[in-house]
Structure formats: C-alpha cells, structure tokens
C-alpha cells in the first residue's frame, strides 16, 4: 500500500483517516466517507483500485471533474477513462472495449447512464471489484444538491450485490448520512468522519459597500493566481466579468445560460491557467477540481451553509494558504426571501428559511467563524480562537460605553416575552409596521421605535455583541429565540454600565493579517518552475497541475534537489513523473543553484515553505545528525527520542544514508536473530517484494519500519 502510494502518487504518508479507510475497503467492506474538499477523498478509492484485480467504477455527476481526475491518473501511470455525454459514440465504443479487455483500472461514469438498459447490460460483462459513489449527498432529498438521477444507483447495487460500495461526500448532516446508507442499501457500513476543518483556509466577511472596489483590491493581492467569484444572477456574472476585464484582469463568466460548449471551453481555459478568474452563479455547480485556487469570493449571500462550505472548499485543495471572502449585506436576504416565498410546499419553505437564517447568522458573527462551521456539521470544537478567520485574527476592537442601546435591547427582549428571534426584536426597536408586529400589538410597547435612528445592520450587530458577552441567550431549535440571561437582568435592574466593542465600520474595508510560517522558498526559482510546468502541460495537452502541483514546486524551490534520487523525495513526485519530467526540472534547479551559489537542502518531514524570499540560506543536514548517532550505535527508537522525530523518519534517513554509503555500519540495527529469521522466511515466501505482501504474511506482527530495516540485511 505504501509502495503504491509513493510510486503512483508521490506521497510518503497518508492524510488523516486515509489509511484506515483504504484498509477497510481492501477488506471488501462497504464504506461511507465524509471528508472535506481537499482532504484526499479520491485517493481512498484510487489506491485500492490499483490493488484489486478487476475494475473500479466511479459514479460522478461532474463531467469536468471526471476529465481532470482521469488526466491526473493517466499522468501518474494509471489506466483510467470516463464515459459521459461529452464523448461521441465512437469514443464510447473504444472505451467500453478497453474496459471489457481488462486493461482499464478505473472507469468514471455519469449517474444518468444507469437508467439505460443497454449500458447496464454492458456493465454486467465487466469484472467489477469496487463501486465508488462520489458526491454521495446527491442521492438524498435532504441534501443541499439532490439529483434524482442518483436514485439509478439502486439498479447498480442490485446488479453487483457482492461488490463493496464506497460512498464519499464533503458535506452531509446526520440526516443525510442516514439517507445515503439507506438508499445505497448498506445500513451497517462503517462511517469514517474526517474533520471538516480546513486549516489552510482564511474566512473573512466584508461589509457589502463599494464591493467591486474592495474586490479589485483583493484581486491585486492575488494577481496571477486562480480565483473563483460567485454571484447571485447570470446578469451579475456578465457585468462583473466586463468590469474585471476592463480593469486589466483575465476573467470569464460561467453560468447555466451559456452553451455547454462555451462552458466547457471556459472551464478548460481556467484549469490550464489561460484565464485566471471565473465568475459563476452560486446556483450552478462548477465541478472544478483545480488544486491551486487561491481565492474564492461570494459577492452575494449563499442559500445554505452546506453550499457555502462546499463552494469555499474549492480553494486551497493543495493544502496551501488560500482566502475565502463573503461580501455581506442584510439586504441580500430579501433576494433569497423572494425565491423562498415561491416555494409551495410549506415544510420545504420552512427548511429553506431556516437554512438561510443560518447563513445570516454566520455572516453576522463576532466570534470564530471556523468554530461555527465545524459545529454546524456536528463537530465538537473546544477552541475559541482559530487565528485564521477575520474575527480571530483581527486586532482587538476598542470598546465603548453602550449602556443606553444595550438597555433598550434588553428591555425589548423582556417586554416581548423572550419568544422572538433577532429580526423581530430589531423590527420592534426600529418601529416597524410589519404585519406580525401589529398583530401582537407590540406597537403599543414603550420600547417600540426607541432605536429607529440606528441603522438596522448596526442594531443587529449590537444584539450579536450582547449574545457574545452573555447578556443575552439564544434558545436552540428550528426557530431560535432570544432571551435575557441572569447577567443581563442584573445589569438592567442595577443600571450597570455595559461596555461593548465598537460595531465594525461599514465605510472601511476589513483588513486581515495573513498567517504564514517562518520558512521560505526561492520565489524566482518557483516562477521558473511554473513556466516550465506550463510549457510541458501545453505539450502534453493537460492542465498544469496534472504535471506537478504548487506544493511540489515550492518544495523543489526550497530543497533544491540535485539528483533524480533527491527529486524522488519531494512531495508529489511519483516514479512515473520522476522518470518522465525529472531531468527537465532538475536542469532548471541546477542552473539556478549554480547561478546563486546555493546548495541542496536535505528533506525533512515538515510542511514546507509558505513564504517567498529573494535569497535563501543554507540549513544544517538533518541526515548528518542521524548518521552521528548511528555511529554511536544508537537504535532507531533512541535516535527518534534523542532528535524528537518519528521512528519512520529515522528509518527513511537510514535508507538514504545506506544508499549513499553502502559501507556504513548499521549492523546494530539488524533485528534479533529469531525475529530476523521469521522476516527472512516471509520475504522468501512472498510472491512479491512489496512490503504490504510481507506485512500481511506476518499478520501485522512486525512494523513496517522493522521490515524496511530488515530488508537492508537480505541479500
């Protein structure tokens, strides 16, 4: 498993939960995977596909996603293909013939194909080893993106009742999870729930005032980087695209009103870095699998928190720092209300109203936005300050005496019976003539209209601040109501002074401070490597990220590998890519290092360079430190403890040191004679020299680290 991980994907280690999920699949068990966008869901079925004898079927609703993933798999040396409406009949026949021949390992198919009898007859002729259902939330009516064609999966499950099924999604509430398991007839499948936390994303909400001007300033910060901007309507996408192009940016619109051909061409230009900005409608799913999107902007209010989370999830899939910005105005809620009021089904309408209220709540938060998102998806969170959202990373706000307005708000909540939500309280305070206010005769209260001169947005913020400071409480439920806490009642009764942070100015842009690690890579070399990547991608007719991702290029620009062996230690450099592109990238790196008088840095197990520098300094050799301890006859465990690094890292150092110096004395690391004899016998009886096979023969009684060391002593 680890050998496949490095050879085909270029990774030395799994991300959280990936290994457990893959082992479960290899046992041919049904599986439900909830993992955030960018968390590595695809690997969970792509790697097992290589280890199974037959074909893995992947059901995906997104044509562009299929193409991107197939391009990437082929670049990694994995035979994959897709079948969807973008292909003509001749191409479909060729791919089906290839599948029947047993040459394909992974076949992506669109869900609507399973409604065709002739297609199901074709599938029955295949040796299917695994069924992977991507975007599995689409099968549930309770999901935010229900697609009726996903119900065709029932026929697929009946056709292959004994084939393990894996369902994968980034966003699913408890109700949706239960529905997925029921619809796919796998009620007892284990659920692997990864954290929804995307620590590399910075969340910001900006006041929607002169939003185009604020957007242009954001785009200047991300000049030359990939950006997705979401708008409410098709008209908005077109006009904003024109504004951005006139301002000197390369932007293109993307919405359902454009022809399929134009959408495909626009998407292709975006993933190939020929256009850097896509302006799309919120309602239209793009299915972009571009790992290096550095900024996602919502110009208008999303309909649901799930949708917002999924759309922001298109940023930073390569785990590098990226920004998510939402321009918010409470007035935008009215646009959504208009469409919600068109819904005839009362329960459906109530659900839509509830989901929109949750988006408004997120937008008006004064506390941690990350905490809100994680708790929304049922993930318990202890942290109060994530450091990477605008509220947590902002400079502490100056407080002021807010006693007068606070007393008005507290009194209004009490006098209306603590039975209403935030919007209603603000209506009473501002003297609204809303039907509901008049029906309750609350226009007769002494507090009616006492805050009519305070802007609604600012008034709502004061209520939120009183909640944050525990003067008010919010009762949970489908329609949350606001009450006054004991602290609030005491402050009102004793006329205590109440100091609150000043409301955010709605005439100034909110500035955030980017959090970056204090490590650096060669910025000029990184740009040269990007140029080479772009050139190779054009020759290969694939998107640049299929060649290598930004994180891989940043590691190259930091570690400055000088040999193909050293290049193979870089994140994302698999065996096939090292052979295919290694020499070209090494040449650029070698010329750069010679020109600037630099030397290779030794790779370590830590996250690499986030920050650019103009000149790098040489670091000490971590391998040399390990070598010195080996010469003192330290064991692997002792070295790990002495250096405060993982034993697996020490073993990697040993392997590298022995490769460079076969005469290095490591005899003291050889396993005890009885253990070594067992390992040696397992290697001799194994049909392959892959560690996975030996590990399984030994039934997991020896660690991978011990097997790697023992292999050094086998002739």
Of the candidates 390, 415, 569, 499, which has an alpha carbon nearest to the alpha carbon of residue 6? 569
Per-residue confidence band for 434, with pLDDT thresholds at 50, 70 and 90: confident
Contact 576, 76 (CB under 8 A): yes
User: What is the secondary structure of 376-402 as a DSSP string?
Assistant: HTT-----S--SSBHHHHSPPPPEEE-
Q: Which residue carries 């208009």 as its tokens? A: 338
pLDDT score of 284 more than 60? no
Greater confidence, 283 or 116? Answer: 116
The most confident of the ranges 148-152, 413-417, 431-435, 659-663 is 413-417
Yes or no: domain 201-393 corresponds to CATH 3.40.50.300: yes
Partners of 473 in the beta sheet? 483
pLDDT score of 634 more than 60? yes
Top-level class of domain 520-613: mainly alpha
List pLDDT tens digits, range 347-364: 888 888 888 988 988 988
Ranges 105-109, 616-620, 621-625: which has the least confidence: 616-620
The percent helix, strand, coil of the chain (3-state, each to 5) is: 50, 10, 40
Domain 622-711 fold? Arc Repressor Mutant, subunit A (1.10.10)
Show the tokens assigned to 262: 């134009």
Q: Which residue carries 């295919």 as its tokens? A: 580
pLDDT score of 386 more than 80? yes
pLDDT at 513: 32
pLDDT, average across residues 518-530: 78
Contact 557, 526 (CB under 8 A): yes
Q: Which residue carries 């669109």 as its tokens? A: 110
Residues of the chain within CATH 1.10.150.80 domain(s) are: 520-613
pLDDT score of 489 more than 90? yes
Residues of the chain within CATH 3.40.50.300 domain(s) are: 2-193, 201-393
Show the tokens assigned to 260: 């399929």
pLDDT at 325: 96
pLDDT score of 624 more than 50? yes
What is the percentage of the chain residues whose pLDDT exceeds 90?
31
pLDDT at 693: 66
Partners of 613 in the beta sheet? 522
Helix (H, G, I), strand (E, B) or coil at 147: coil
pLDDT, average across residues 401-423: 92
List pLDDT tens digits, range 192-241: 888 888 889 999 999 887 888 899 999 998 988 999 999 988 999 999 99
- Name the architecture of domain 2-193: 3-Layer(aba) Sandwich (3.40)
Residues of the chain within CATH 1.10.10.1390 domain(s) are: 622-711
Residues of the chain within CATH 1.10.10.10 domain(s) are: 399-501
List pLDDT tens digits, range 44-56: 999 999 999 899 9
What is the percentage of the chain residues whose pLDDT exceeds 70?
89
In degrees and rounded to multiples of 5, residue 166 shows phi and psi of -120, 120
Distance CA 2, CA 668 (A): 26
SS (H, E, C) 91-146: HHHHHHHHHHHCCCCEEEECHHHHHCHHHHHHHHCCCEEEEEECCHHHHCCCCCCC
pTM: 0.61
Angle at CA of residue 69, ends 538 and 536, nearest 5°: 15
Partners of 133 in the beta sheet? 59, 167
Distance CA 240, CA 479 (A): 36
Ranges 469-473, 535-539, 608-612: which has the least confidence: 608-612
Greater confidence, 613 or 470? Answer: 470
The mean of the pLDDT values for the chain is 84
Greater confidence, 147 or 479? Answer: 147
CB burial readout 147-168, b (16+ within 10 A) else e? bebbbbbeebbeebeebbbbbb
pLDDT at 201: 93
In degrees and rounded to multiples of 5, residue 421 shows phi and psi of -90, 180
* CATH code, 399-501: 1.10.10.10
Partners of 228 in the beta sheet? 278, 296
């Amino acid at each position: 498993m680890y050998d496949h991980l490095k050879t085909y994907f270029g990774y030395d280690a799994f991300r959280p939960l990936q290994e457990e999920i893959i082992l479960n699949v290899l046992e041919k068990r049904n599986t439900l995977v909830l993992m955030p966008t960018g968390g590595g869901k695809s690997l969970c079925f792509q790697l097992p596909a290589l280890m199974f004898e037959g074909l893995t079927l992947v059901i995906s609703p997104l044509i562009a996603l299929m193409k991107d993933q197939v391009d990437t798999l082929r670049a990694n040396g994995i035979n994959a293909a897709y079948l969807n409406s973008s292909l003509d009949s001749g191409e479909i026949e060729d791919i089906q013939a290839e599948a029947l021949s047993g040459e394909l390992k992974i076949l992506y198919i669109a869900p609507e194909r399973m409604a065709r009898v002739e297609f199901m007859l074709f599938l029955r002729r295949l040796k299917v080893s695994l069924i992977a259902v991507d975007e599995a939330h689409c099968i549930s009516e309770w999901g935010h993106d229900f697609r009726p064609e996903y119900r065709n999966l029932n026929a697929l499950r009946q056709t292959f009742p004994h084939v393990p099924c894996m369902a994968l999604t980034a966003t699913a509430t408890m109700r949706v999870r239960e529905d997925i398991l029921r619809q796919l007839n796998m009620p007892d499948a284990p659920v692997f729930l990864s954290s929804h936390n995307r620590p590399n994303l910075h969340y910001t909400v900006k006041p929607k005032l002169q939003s185009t001007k604020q957007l242009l300033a954001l785009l200047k910060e991300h000049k030359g980087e990939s950006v997705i901007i979401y708008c409410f309507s098709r008209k908005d996408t077109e006009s904003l695209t024109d504004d951005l192009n006139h301002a000197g940016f390369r932007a293109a619109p993307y919405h359902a009103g454009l022809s399929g051909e134009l959408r495909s061409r626009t998407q292709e230009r975006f993933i190939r870095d020929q256009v850097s900005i896509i302006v799309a409608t919120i309602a239209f799913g793009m299915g972009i699998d571009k790992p290096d999107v550095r900024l996602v902007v919502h110009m208008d209010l999303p309909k649901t928190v799930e949708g917002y989370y999924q759309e922001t999830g298109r940023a930073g899939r390569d785990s590098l720092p990226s920004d998510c910005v939402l321009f918010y105005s409470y007035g935008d809620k009215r646009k959504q209300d208009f469409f919600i009021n068109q819904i005839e089904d009362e329960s459906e309408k109530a659900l839509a109203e509830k989901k929109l209220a949750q988006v408004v709540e997120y937008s008006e938060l004064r506390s941690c936005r990350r905490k809100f998102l994680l708790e929304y998806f049922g993930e318990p969170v202890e942290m109060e300050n994530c450091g990477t959202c605008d509220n947590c990373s902002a400079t502490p706000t100056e407080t002021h005496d807010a006693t007068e307005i606070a007393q008005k708000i507290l009194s209004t909540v009490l006098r209306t019976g603590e039975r209403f939500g935030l919007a209603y309280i603000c209506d009473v305070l501002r003297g609204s003539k809303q039907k509901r206010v008049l029906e309750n005769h609350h226009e007769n209260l002494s507090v009616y209209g006492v805050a009519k001169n305070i802007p609604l947005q600012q008034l709502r913020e004061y209520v939120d601040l009183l909640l944050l400071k525990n003067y008010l409480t919010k009762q949970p439920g489908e329609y949350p109501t606001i009450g006054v806490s004991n602290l609030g009642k005491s402050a009102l009764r004793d006329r205590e002074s109440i100091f609150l942070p000043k409301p955010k100015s709605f005439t100034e842009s909110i500035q955030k401070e980017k959090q970056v690690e204090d490590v650096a890579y060669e910025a000029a070399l990184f740009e040269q490597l990007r140029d080479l990547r772009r050139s190779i991608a054009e020759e290969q007719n694939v998107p640049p990220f299929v060649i290598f991702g930004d994180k891989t290029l940043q590691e190259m620009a930091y570690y400055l590998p000088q040999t193909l062996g050293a290049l193979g230690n870089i994140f994302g450099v698999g065996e096939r890519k090292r052979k295919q592109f290694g020499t070209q990238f090494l040449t650029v790196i070698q010329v750069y290092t010679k020109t600037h008088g630099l030397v290779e840095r030794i790779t370590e197990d830590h996250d690499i360079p986030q920050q650019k520098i103009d000149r790098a300094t040489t670091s000490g050799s971590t391998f040399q430190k390990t070598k010195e301890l080996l010469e003192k006859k330290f064991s692997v465990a002792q070295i790990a403890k002495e250096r405060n690094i993982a034993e697996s890292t020490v073993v990697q150092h040993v392997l590298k040191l022995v490769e460079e110096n076969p005469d290095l004395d490591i005899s003291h690391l050889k396993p005890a004679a009885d253990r070594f004899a067992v390992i040696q016998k397992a290697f001799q009886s194994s049909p392959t020299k892959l560690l996975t096979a030996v590990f399984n023969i030994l039934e997991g009684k020896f660690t991978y680290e011990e097997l790697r060391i023992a292999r050094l002593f086998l002739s």
